[in-house]
Amino acid sequence: MAIRETLNRYNIIINRLRQSPASFSEIQDRLHLESDIQGYDFNISKRTFQRDIENIESLYGISIAFDFSRNEWYIQEEDNTEANTRLLEAFDTFSALKMTNRLPQFIDYEKRRPRGTENMNGLLHAIQNTLKVRFTYQKFWADEKRTRFVAPLALKESINRWYVIGIDQEKKELRNFALDRLSQLEIGTEKYKRPADFNVKQMFKHSFGIIVGDQLKPREVLLAFRKPQSQYILTLPLHPSQTKIEETENEVVFRLHLYITEDFVQELVSHGPRVRVLQPQSLIREVKTYHQQALDLYLGKTP
């Protein structure tokens, strides 16, 4: 069986057990159903299933165990890393897209430019081995391309874009570079010393997006979203610190703790009248200013 089909079978088993514990017979039923849907033969023996369990743990870090009292298989610990979850999501997407060869009329792709992910492996190699890199970079607002010499420290995803975080060797500053603006990557042989206190998760803990400033302090923000918009915010939080603190018939109030940056203000403005800023006052003023500027532009008023 092709590697792609084997990996797809692993994914089917994992997704079935994520729903609930299941007997081997119930897992076989799911594999049989998916065989009909996808046009492959996912049916396996119990011996092959045992090998699959070992391979799933090795590949995804997901441990599947057997409950003798209930005669069911279950995922022992849902302590899956974000990387493993993304791996499963990516394979789900890959499997679905392969079906578009047979069902093209039922899929509408979002048009977008390449995300620069072809350089991720090279950058991760440089980060792991503390090697400096050189690449050509073009800023979003500039036509000119420049060569950058960087000590890469981490990769960061933000709003459907990937960035490399590193120390610009010319400016001696910590900078971020969008991978889709980066080309001609060269991994050098010169080593760098990783800052002992650098932690990418802590660095962006209070950030919305990619902006981090030495002078910024996280603020408590209260937002009231109208229903049904609030349901979207519940299922796709604006920030990891988001918590629901109050709900009425018409709206839901959320508390966030983060840096108030221009990209966060723009995000709030994009929700229009569906959101009310309750605090802080400085954020209320900024959002009102954006709304007024948009109205003036619509009415043809010049600044």
pLDDT of residue 303: 58
Q: At what angle do helices 46-60 and 24-38 cross, to 10 degrees?
A: 80
* pLDDT at position 199: 92
Q: Are residues 86 and 127 in the same domain?
A: no
Assess if residue 70 is contained within a domain.
yes
* pLDDT above 60: residue 77: yes
Q: Which domain holds residue 131?
A: 117-201
Q: Show the CA angle centred on residue 142, arms to residues 137 and 148, nearest 5°.
A: 25
CA dist 155 and 24 (Å) reads 40
Beta-strand pair 251-258/219-226: antiparallel
Looking at the domain assignment, is residue 209 inside a domain?
A: no
The residues, any chain, with a CB within 8 Å of residue 195's CB and separated by 6 or more, are 153
Q: Are 185 and 150 in contact (CB under 8 A)?
A: no
Is 100 within a domain? yes
210 in a domain, yes or no? Answer: no
Residues 188, 122, single domain; the answer is yes
Tens-place pLDDT, residues 6-61: 888 998 998 899 889 999 999 999 999 988 888 888 999 999 999 999 998 888 77
Are residues 75 and 63 in contact, defined by beta-carbon separation less than 8 angstroms?
yes
250 and 272 together in one domain:
yes
Residues 16 and 69 both lie in one domain: yes
Give the pLDDT of residue 100: 59
Name the amino acid, one letter, at 97.
L
Tell whether 159 and 225 lie within a shared domain: no
Kindly report, residue by residue over 104-139, the tens digit of the pLDDT.
666 776 676 667 788 988 999 999 999 999 999 988
Residue where a domain terminates, one of 84, 106, 128: 106
The pTM of this model reads 0.73
List of E strands, 119-250: 131-138, 145-158, 161-168, 173-178, 182-191, 219-226, 243-247
Residues 254 and 287 in one domain: yes
Quick check: 188 and 132 in contact, CB under 8 A? yes
28 and 62 belong to one structural domain:
yes
Q: Do β-strands 72-75 and 251-258 pair in parallel, antiparallel, or remain unpaired?
A: unpaired
Contact assessment for residue 279 and residue 221, using Cβ atoms and an 8 Å cutoff: yes
| 212 in any annotated domain | no
Whether residues 75 and 145 fall in one domain: no
Report pLDDT digits (tens) over 281-300.
Answer: 989 888 888 777 776 676 77
How many domains does the chain fold into? Answer: 3
- CATH assignment of the domain containing 48: 1.10.10
Are 14 and 91 members of one domain? yes
Token readout for 177 is 């570079």
Integer angstrom CA distances of residue 100 from 3, 50, 105, 129: 20, 32, 8, 40
State the chain's mean pLDDT as an integer: 86
Supply φ then ψ for residue 171, to 5 degrees: -90, -15
174 with 223, same domain: the answer is no
Report DSSP state, residue 229: H
One domain for residues 102 and 8: yes
Q: What would the pLDDT profile of 147-202 be if each residue is shown by its tens digit? A: 999 999 999 988 878 999 999 999 899 999 999 899 899 999 999 999 999 999 89
Nearest-angstrom CA–CA distance, 247 and 279: 17
Same domain, 192 and 121: yes
Greatest pairwise CA separation for the chain in angstroms: 75
